[in-house]
């Protein structure tokens, strides 16, 4: 069958990949670009730090808690429709963020922006694989992941430049013309997909699921600062547990649940999803622990520490596309398993560092982690999406995105707990020594998690390449 061409004679599938890649790039960029501008926002709005942190927190909680909701809506009403709506909402939210002069308006605008980002993140994998054949799935998902890591990599540097030269609103205004262009191109090149009129929306399940995720992420994000015994944290965790139980009960009774638990009956889907979660736990933990070691133990300035840390996303960016192409040829199991093995090895190597280690050694170890994540991501994503029925691609993509976000939050919390506990037990030692031991303790646990992910990748089962269920 001859491939359809779009504008400029370029195939429609490549236009689709370009649109989705641009969307994930913008969403990832926006998640990472804001942190560097927080001091400027604090000064401009004259707000306390406890309020300023909600500029970041509201984005994380809103996007994460609504992923599965939009994945389900896309399965019912069509991925194209919800995705373009997400582009519009994200662009509008970005505009509102840029023109907001009051901190309350900015926080509300960030929530609106996060709703749009959730639509983009949840539906991106499903739209990509619907445009490519099963034999090209890994390569396409790898190229899309490359755009995600590119956004994460350049976010802090771009945010710092824009904030310094044009002021903090510019980090949001830059999304507006890009977003408008994306909507215009999407309306022309994205294929219309059929809505499933036989399915109905499950508002009770969607609501309890959103509450469960939002309260869990709030507790994970605020617990390390306020203390896990704080009544607010305990109460929030109680609400989360209650909501999760209610969600499971509700989903067992409705004909068309918000989250189809039958997806998890597929061992390949379940093992790949858990492996993805563990990978993001490891990535977040390394990102949390290493700056403390580099700045406070090794004595590097923040800029140099950032350069050492950049080795991970840069290597990931260059490897995700080739690893996806490789998985199309030889299957997902070998590259994904090798990826988690490299990640675990890199983390164990970080455990051997001392403050006098050379920057070259440190960068080689963080680059090893990047090799692992780059090898793992695209094949594992391909296994997840290939294990889900075509009518559940929206939910499958949302589950993948939820695994990423909850993995990042969980990894940060876990590594923080280990690090702080170690520092407390070694408080009589010199600070650089205690910090080094804290980093080592955290890396030991995180490396074990990576090797568990390796084992799951090796035994996930299923066919060599996987295929869509009918």
Q: How far is CA 120 from the centre of its chain?
A: 12
Q: Is the domain of 213 the same as that of 357?
A: no
Across 347-361, average pLDDT: 91
- The CATH number covering residue 135 comes to 1.20.1250.20
Same domain, 215 and 225: yes
Give me the mean pLDDT over the 234-256 stretch: 88
Condensed to tens digits (0 to 9), the pLDDT of residues 126-175 reads 888 787 877 787 888 888 888 877 777 777 777 778 887 888 898 899 88
- Please give the model's pTM, rounded to 2 decimal places: 0.80
pLDDT at 275 over 90: yes
CA–CA separation, 33 and 162 (whole Å): 10
- Minimum mean pLDDT range among 9-23, 232-246, 266-280: 9-23
The tokens describing 331, both together, are 């299957």
Say how many domains are in the chain. 3
The per-residue pLDDT for range 291-335, each reduced to its tens digit, is 888 888 888 887 778 788 888 888 888 888 888 888 888 888 899
User: Between 387 and 199, where is the model more confident?
Assistant: 387
Residue-wise pLDDT for 2-56, tens only, equals: 566 656 666 778 888 888 888 888 877 777 677 777 778 888 888 887 788 788 7
Q: Is residue 1 part of a domain?
A: no
What is the average pLDDT value for the chain, to the nearest integer? 84
**pLDDT exceeds cutoff 70 at 466:** no
Question: Of 195, 218, 242, at which residue does a domain stop?
Answer: 195
The C-alpha atoms of residue 261 and residue 168 are separated, in whole angstroms, by 43
In this prediction, residue 465 has a pLDDT band, given cuts at 50, 70 and 90, of very low
Quick one: pLDDT at residue 469?
42
Alpha-carbon gap, residue 277 to 346, rounded angstroms: 18
Boundary (domain end) residue, out of 195, 212, 238:
195
**245 and 298 in one domain?**
no
248: containing domain: 202-257
Structure-model confidence comparison of residues 432 and 394, the more confident one = 432
pLDDT at 470: 42
CB atoms within 10 A of CB 126: 27
Looking at the structure, tell me whether residues 250 and 163 fall in a common domain. Answer: no
Percent of residues in the chain assigned helix, strand, coil, to nearest 5: 80, 0, 15
Q: Which residues pair with 11 in a beta bridge?
A: 5
* Phi, psi at 389, each rounded to 5°: -60, 155
Same structural domain, 206 and 301: no
């Amino acid at each position: 069958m001859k491939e359809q061409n779009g504008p400029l004679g370029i195939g429609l599938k490549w236009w689709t990949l370009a649109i989705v890649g641009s969307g994930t790039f913008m969403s990832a960029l926006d998640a990472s670009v804001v942190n560097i501008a927080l001091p400027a926002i604090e000064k401009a709005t004259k707000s306390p730090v406890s309020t300023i942190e909600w500029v970041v927190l509201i984005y994380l909680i809103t996007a994460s808690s609504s992923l599965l909701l939009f994945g389900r809506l896309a399965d019912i009403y069509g991925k194209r429709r919800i995705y373009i709506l997400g582009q519009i909402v994200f662009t509008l939210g970005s505009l509102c963020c840029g023109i907001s002069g009051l901190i309350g308006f900015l926080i509300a605008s960030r929530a609106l922006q996060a709703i749009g980002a959730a639509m983009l993140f949840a539906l991106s994998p499903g739209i990509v694989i619907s445009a490519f054949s099963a034999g090209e799935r890994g390569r396409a998902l790898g190229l899309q992941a490359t755009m995600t890591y590119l956004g994460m990599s350049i976010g802090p540097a771009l945010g710092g430049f824009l904030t310094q030269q044009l002021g903090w609103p510019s980090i949001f205004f830059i999304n507006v013309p890009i977003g408008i262009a994306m909507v215009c191109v999407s309306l022309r090149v994205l294929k219309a997909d059929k809505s499933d009129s036989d399915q109905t929306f499950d508002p009770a399940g969607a609501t309890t699921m959103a509450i469960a995720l939002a309260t869990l992420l709030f507790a994970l994000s605020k617990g390390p600062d306020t203390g896990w015994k704080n009544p607010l944290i305990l109460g929030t965790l109680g609400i989360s547990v209650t909501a999760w139980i209610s969600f499971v009960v509700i989903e067992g009774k409705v004909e068309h649940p918000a989250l189809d638990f039958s997806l998890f009956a597929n061992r390949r889907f379940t093992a790949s999803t858990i492996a993805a979660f563990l990978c993001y736990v490891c990535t977040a933990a390394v990102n949390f622990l290493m700056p403390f070691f580099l700045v406070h133990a090794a004595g590097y300035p923040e800029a140099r520490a950032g350069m050492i840390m950049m080795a991970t996303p840069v290597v990931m960016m260059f490897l995700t596309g080739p690893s996806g192409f490789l998985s199309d040829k030889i299957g997902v199991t070998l590259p994904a398993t090798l990826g988690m093995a490299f990640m675990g090895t890199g983390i164990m190597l970080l455990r051997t560092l001392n403050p006098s280690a050379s920057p070259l050694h440190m960068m080689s170890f963080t680059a090893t982690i990047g090799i692992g994540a780059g090898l793992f991501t695209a094949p594992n994503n391909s296994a997840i999406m290939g294990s889900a029925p075509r009518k559940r691609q929206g939910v499958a993509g949302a589950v993948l995105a939820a695994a990423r976000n909850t993995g990042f939050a969980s990894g940060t919390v876990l590594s923080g707990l280990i690090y702080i506990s170690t520092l407390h037990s070694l408080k009589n030692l010199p600070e650089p020594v205690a910090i080094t031991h804290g980093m080592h303790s955290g890396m030991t646990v995180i490396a074990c998690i990576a090797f568990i992910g390796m084992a799951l990748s090796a035994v996930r089962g299923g066919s060599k390449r996987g295929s869509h269920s009918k």
